[in-house]
Structure formats: C-alpha cells, structure tokens
C-alpha cells in the first residue's frame, strides 16, 4: 500500500519518473517482471488466484481461483473486499495493488472499466436526474416529458455507438458514452485540445445556456438523449470513481483512453499538456522509460512550443 500512496498524486504520466523514491524502484522491478508474464499470482484478502492476461485483456473472467473463473470485480467480492468497490486497489500482485502497475504502464487498463460501473454500481445505470443543480427550466423540459417508446427506439438506433459528435454553439467535440456521468462529473467530451465535462463544454461555448438543451448531436439535445436512455446520468449519491471524483481517476480522465496513433489501449504514456496518450512504440521518437519524467509532453506539444519559440 505504501508504494501505491507514494505514486498517487505525484506523477502525471503513467510512467515512473526517475526522481521517485526507492519504494518505487522496487515496484518498477516487479512491474517489469509482470509485463513479461502471461499469467501471474494475485491475492485479494485471504484468497489467492492466477490472473490470465489474455483473458484480462479481452475483458473476460480472468482470475482462476478454487477451480473457478472470476472477473476482477467478482474476485474482489470473493476475497471479502467488495466494500472497497475498487478491485484495482483490492487485488494485489507481490503485495502491490494492480492499480500501481496499470498506472505505471506495466499492465494494460482493461476493458472492465465500463462493465465495472454497471455491475458494481447498479444505481449508476439507472436513469435519474441529478437534483443538486436542477433548475425549474430543466424540470419542465426533461422530467415532465415522457418520450414515446418508438421515438426512443429510433434515437437509440441512431446513437448505437460508444461515441458521437456533439456541438454547442460553435464548439465541436466527441462525446464518449462510457465517460458520461453528470453535468459536472466525468470528462466525457473530447474537444481538439481537452477532455471536458458537459458543463465545461457549455461554458466554453455558450455561458448563458443549459447543457441539456444547448449541447446537441445531429439536432438531438443531450436532454433528449437522456430521455431516450442513450445517456444515463449517474445518481446524486453515486459512489463510482467518476462521481466521487477519485483523484487518480480524475487524472486519468484528462487523457485519452486509447493511443493517439493506433487507437488501441494498453500501456499508455500521458502528455501533461494535451489530452493525447501514446504507446511507447507509437510515439515519435519511440519512448524509453528514462525519457519520461514527471512532466512529460508529447511530440505534438513539443513541436508547437518549438514553433512558438522560433516565431517570437
């Protein structure tokens, strides 16, 4: 646990900075060994299991324990740590939480992410309107209107994907459904240079508006998409990492979940300045661990800075 807390909040990139303490170096050694393994032993509470990486990457039940396959979530329950609701912290390898290895790029961030929100936080998936900042206006336009089932089916068919383009006044972005939680939690809209919450996206483009009405996609407002359950706001008291604004998760939200170059997930290095993330080998130049410090910026940001320096 000590190693994990030391990493927290200190680092922006998911790679080790050379300035880290010795606890981290131990971790790095363990992490490197883990990276090469196809399967490795994990523990949660008193339970032991073997995590199979191929299954893990595919988002399948991947931990074999007592002759049964478990998802990380279920293994957390099996180990009696379900109260944590954070398997990345509850499940350990060499007494270091898996989160550390994920953050440091030794283990991919698995696709359980979305599933996890669904099966761990049943209240999350329900369509409920967050009341904290509801205005009268919002109540009238959203809560009191019931959308006919056929309409909502049509809309659902149009918005089948995990992402869709949104606009607000002149602003453009792409909304990622799995990142959406509420107006102020969950940076779900990727603009050209940042990840924003719906509220931030609105403020950036049209300060005097309402996010449910003024952010639209193919002429449907987000309010309409919520009514037809394309988007499902999390509850007021939702305990998921997005809504609790878990600092690690917040940091994670600032950058893309997939590599900017190849569009796949895995061990990604996050740029400090822009929302891009990269695999070591996809970045030009290819990244070595010792090139990545605490405030690493990507080749695109470096090029912009260089250009600015030349012209000034």
| List of residues contacting Zn ion (CB under 5 A) | 124, 181, 234, 238, 240, 243, 259, 261-262, 271, 273-274, 276, 279, 282, 298, 301
Smallest distance from Zn ion to CB 153, Å: 26
The residue (of 30 and 274) whose beta carbon lies closer to Zn ion is: 274
Alpha helices per DSSP H over 58-172: 72-78, 87-90, 98-103, 112-120, 122-125, 136-138, 149-158
Q: Is 7 exposed, middle or buried (0-12, 13-18, 19+ CB in 10 A)?
A: buried
The CA distances from residue 124 to 34, 51, 108, 173, in Å, are: 33, 28, 25, 24
The residue (of 223 and 241) whose beta carbon lies closer to Zn ion is: 241
The residue (of 214 and 265) whose beta carbon lies closer to Zn ion is: 265
Smallest distance from Zn ion to CB 274, Å: 3
The residue (of 11 and 276) whose beta carbon lies closer to Zn ion is: 276
Give dist(CA 294, CA 230) in Å, integer: 38
Smallest distance from Zn ion to CB 233, Å: 9
Enclosing H/E stretch for 207: none
Smallest distance from Zn ion to CB 309, Å: 16
Smallest distance from Zn ion to CB 136, Å: 25
The residue (of 53 and 273) whose beta carbon lies closer to Zn ion is: 273
The CA distances from residue 160 to 147, 155, 177, 230, 291, in Å, are: 18, 9, 10, 8, 41
């Amino acid at each position: 646990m000590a190693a994990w807390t030391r990493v927290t909040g200190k680092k922006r990139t998911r790679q080790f900075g050379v300035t880290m303490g010795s606890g981290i170096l131990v971790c790095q050694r363990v992490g490197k060994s883990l990276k090469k393994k196809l399967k490795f032993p994990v523990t949660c509470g008193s339970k032991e299991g073997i995590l199979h990486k191929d299954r893990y990457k595919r988002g399948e039940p991947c931990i074999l324990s007592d002759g049964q396959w478990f998802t990380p979530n279920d293994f957390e329950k099996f180990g009696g740590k379900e109260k944590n609701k954070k398997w990345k912290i509850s499940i350990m390898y060499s007494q270091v939480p898996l989160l550390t290895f994920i953050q440091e790029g030794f283990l991919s961030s698995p696709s359980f992410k979305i599933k996890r929100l669904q099966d761990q936080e049943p209240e999350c998936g329900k369509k409920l309107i967050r009341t904290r900042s509801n205005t009268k206006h919002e109540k009238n336009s959203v809560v009191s209107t019931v959308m006919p089932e056929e309409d909502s089916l049509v809309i659902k068919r149009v918005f089948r994907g995990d992402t869709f383009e949104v606009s607000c006044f002149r602003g453009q972005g792409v909304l990622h459904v799995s990142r959406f939680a509420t107006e102020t939690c969950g940076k779900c809209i990727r603009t050209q240079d940042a990840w924003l919450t719906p509220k931030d996206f609105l403020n950036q483009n049209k300060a005097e508006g309402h996010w449910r009405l003024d952010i639209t996609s193919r002429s449907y407002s987000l309010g309409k998409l919520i009514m037809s359950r394309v988007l499902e706001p999390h509850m007021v008291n939702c305990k998921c990492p997005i809504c609790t604004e878990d600092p690690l998760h917040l940091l994670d939200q600032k950058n893309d979940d997939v590599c900017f170059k190849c569009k796949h997930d895995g061990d990604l290095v996050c740029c400090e300045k822009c929302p891009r993330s990269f695999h070591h080998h996809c970045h030009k130049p290819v990244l070595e661990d010792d090139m990545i410090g605490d405030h690493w910026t990507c080749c695109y940001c470096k090029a912009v800075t260089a250009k600015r320096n030349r012209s000034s």
